[in-house]
Amino acid sequence: MTRGGWLFSLLRPLGVSLVRLYWRVSVRGREHVPPTGAYIIAPVHRSNIDVFVVPTITRRRIRFMAKDSLWKVKAFGWLVEALGAFPVHRGTADREALRQSQAVLEAGEPLVLFPEGTRQSGPEVQPLFDGAAYLAARLGVPIVPVGIGGSERAMRKGSKLVRPVKVAVVVGPPLHPEARPDGGRVPRRAVRELTEQLHAELQRLFDQAQAAAGSPNPPRG
């Protein structure tokens, strides 16, 4: 077993148990998570705690990007890397993120990408970046959309206070990219359509998760 594998196996049960206990996390739709192979986990993003909540949906080690400054302290960098993080260097973030993300998926591992980009606020899922759809279409892997409700109340953007409120997670059925039998370039249309599909599904799941967490989004006309 690799360094990351044994350390993750050792720390995951404790970490997930603490997360579930502190935020009273409930998870619906765990059956939609593929048990094997590569896939992209695409959650809504309202809080820093989201990165701790996402691992409650699967026992597998999941990979995610982290800013390279976390590696300045060697021991801490070693820890977060062993737990699944990989560094993205400022100034080359887009190119490096794409290369590293593709390598993770080609290795058959699950990858977390927050399609809204940075943390957002409020009940509306913001316009999505197309990175998740592009990678899914390029590599032929599914996207697993995830709604997380209550995390903004637990820790708002800019806040240093972490509140023990209820957090709910709702996992949707995987979204599969359009097949490319010729192995050619990814059509821009296919990426756009998959991104639009992901946006609609994330809004649906986010509304469900917010309601389950006791902080429902306003009804839509």
Span 135-173, pLDDT tens digits: 999 999 999 999 999 999 999 888 888 999 999 999 999
Sign of the dihedral defined by the CA atoms of residues 75, 80, 86, 91, in that order: negative
**pLDDT exceeds 90 at position 95:** no
Please give the mean pLDDT across all residues of the chain. Answer: 88
pLDDT digits (tens, 9 = 90+) for 1-51: 555 567 677 777 888 899 999 999 999 999 999 999 999 999 999 998 998
- Whole-model pTM: value is 0.90
Mean pLDDT of 108-133: 93
Looking at residue 85, its pLDDT comes to 79
pLDDT digits (tens, 9 = 90+) for 54-82: 999 999 989 988 777 767 877 767 767 77
Domain boundaries, the chain: 21-62+110-212
